[in-house]
Structure 1
Amino acid sequence: MITGPGVGGVADIAPPRPASDGVVIEISKVGICGTDKELFDGSMAYLHDGNARYPLRIGHEWVGRVLEVGVDVDPSFVHRRVTGDTMLGCGQCERCTAGRAHVCAARYEIGVRGGWPGALAERLAVPVSALHVIPESISDTAAAMIEPAGNAWRAFDGAGVVAGERLLILGPGTIGLLCAMFARAAGVEVHLLGREGRSLQFARTLGFDGVWTGDTIPDLAWHGVVDASSATRFPGLAIDLAEPGRRVALVGLAGSPSRVDTRDIALKDVTVVGVLGASAGLRPAIDAFASGTVDPCPLVSAIVALEEATGVLSGGSISDAGPGPKTLIDLQRRCR
């Protein structure tokens, strides 16, 4: 439980009960992402516009097994291994009925928005309609990466590149690297741009076609550009670098407003696509993981116990962590 900016710890709470159309999940693993860290340190925008408030329980990247079902749910769901959509629309508004529940004005975002408790707990209650069954060929470690991979797949799809074309991804973090993996699996020439340091060094070990800094990036035709960074200048840079008539996908969020000259968009005839949430990308991510065309496990640097979550959220180091960008919390592991 996070009770205030930078303040949190493990607490005992009453176990959840399933709604009539819902289930209770026994959680196995949960991923920690930048949004979770912003909710912990108090910088996340939802905390300032009223869409989130303390105390809160985070966790929206998860895998587990169905433990209990509501009265209106098929009992065969019990024991199924699942993950779920973070975005829970009202189900009745025009956006929801048109298939855009992820932008429903009244939506919950599990562990993020509207007070719906997240998965950083032994059990999580969710609507059965949000669930995606996970094939047994996908490990729990990989399955905990399905939600960020769904965002990455949507960014790759939004960039509009096909086999033989060239994609530039700004930001070599978890989303950027997963996006690069989807693109490479589709036969796209993949390049990444970032600042020199550990993240860029790790990206080079994954064998992409090019990994660059601002000083070394070559003058090539970029048939699509994805901004998966948190840099305020990168949305404008993405538009500058994209080939005329092509597409830019924006999946990263900066902590302060990014400025873009709309004349550049119009005069280059560039299409700019925003990506919010993984909803439409969850099934493609599951399929890619199940087939083996994308393996997210090299991105996982450490798997730690729930009692270590506060240290992870506050930016503490993990002594035996690998070079990847992602930390998972194992709800089946205990420090004591």
Structure 2
Amino acid sequence: MRAFVLTGPGAYEMQEVPEPVAAPGEVVVDVERVGVCGTDMEFFTGEMAYLHQGHASFPMRLGHEWSGRVRAVGAGVGREWLGRRVMGDTMIGCGDCRRCLRGRGHVCAKRSEVGVRDGRPGALAEQLAVPASSLHPLPDSVDATLGALVEPGGNALRAARSATPEMNERVLVLGPGTIGLLTAMFARARGADVHIMGKTRSSLEFARGLGFDRLWQEDTLPDLPFDAIVDASNAPQLPSLALELVEPGGRVVCIGLAGEPSRIDTRTLALKDVTAVGLLSASPALDPAIKAYADGSVDPRPLVAATVGLEQVGTVLAGQRPPGAGAGPKIHVDPRLVVD
């Protein structure tokens, strides 16, 4: 089968690799759609921390935001999975440690991460093998595009829940990228008064097209009491700004990752009685994200600017927009597309 393989920083190949075989407890999926995300771009540049911590190495196959259809099952897996449309959890815990047994497999010290960590190949290929335990069925109303947006959506839903535990709260989202906009969508669906701060006018105008009208740049932020602030950016100075701006007794939610340490003054954190929340992984919120997409309370499809084939992945990772791409922040890949 065809697969996109990252062989080193900025280096990649289209390769013919053996089709995966479903090991006991696993399934093989025909991949229908894959999202390209910031983590993939960090691997492409060589900046991703896992490369320097020994959790990942080249060559590697990226792709952890995916949807597809089950084509084969391994020993111990029910045949009712055959033909089902699914997406899958990125985080694969060991299943036996204290964290896994307490339902926190997404932070298991021995976890693998599909397309990210410990050599488990990702979805930028025509087929993918994953544990059946990681699968989440997709209803008919959740198409392939929506299915590949469930993983980032689960992350964003966790952020929105942490930021808006009650109705009618005012939340400021820092960074109108995919996660930031998804967080804003889920927060809006929860009844929040959503404000978004961005760096460029074009990104804010795109947010306006999604129905958000409280849009700001840092120098135009209004003097309003924000009950919660979600940092969905990669700017190292913004967590400190979030702590400065949030109301006493409020919440700061950190879901973005900067390339260098972000520092906050814990004296301010304590004296303002602020709750700070860090989030890793969509795992605890995948099914609720699917439900929100299925019932239409959140529709993230406008975020997808273009869908390309495997042959175009390298140029996308290098930062080039596909010809004719829309204004959205997300690029999708359909491994079934063959470009001459």
TM-score (norm 2): 0.97
| Aligned-residue CA RMSD (Å) | 0.9
Say whether the 8 Å CA contact 2:164–2:192 is kept in structure 1. no
Say whether the 8 Å CA contact 1:309–1:329 is kept in structure 2. yes
SS in 2 for 1:28: strand
Structure 2 counterpart of 1:319, one-letter code: P
| Residue 162 of structure 1 pairs with residue 162 of structure 2 | no
The offset of 1:197, in angstroms, is 3.5
Partner of 2:241: 237
Partner of 1:257: 261
Query: Aligned partners of 2:277, 2:140: CA distance in 1, in Å?
Result: 34
Partner of 1:51: 55
Q: 1:119 aligns with which of 118, 123, 129?
A: 123
Unaligned runs of 5+ in 1: none
The offset of 1:201, in angstroms, is 2.1
Partner of 2:83: 79
Q: How does 1:140-289 map to 2 (within 5 A)?
A: 140-289=144-293
Query: Aligned partners of 1:95, 1:71: CA distance in 2, in Å?
Result: 27
The offset of 1:90, in angstroms, is 0.5
Query: Aligned partners of 1:312, 1:148: CA distance in 2, in Å?
Result: 18
SS in 2 for 1:163: coil
Unaligned runs of 5+ in 2: none
Structure 2 counterpart of 1:210, one-letter code: R
Q: 1:92 aligns with which of 80, 90, 96?
A: 96
- CA deviation vs aligned residue, 1:211-260 (integer Å, no higher than 9, x gap): 10011110111111100000000111111111111211100000011111
Partner of 1:328: 332
Query: Aligned partners of 1:53, 1:30: CA distance in 2, in Å?
Result: 21
Structure 2 counterpart of 1:6, one-letter code: G
Say whether the 8 Å CA contact 1:149–1:175 is kept in structure 2. yes
The offset of 1:299, in angstroms, is 0.4
Query: Aligned partners of 1:154, 1:9: CA distance in 2, in Å?
Result: 35
Partner of 1:295: 299
Partner of 1:109: 113
> Matched residues, percent identical?
55
Query: Aligned partners of 2:314, 2:260: CA distance in 1, in Å?
Result: 25
Query: Aligned partners of 1:87, 1:100: CA distance in 2, in Å?
Result: 10
Say whether the 8 Å CA contact 2:87–2:138 is kept in structure 1. yes
TM-score (norm 1): 0.98
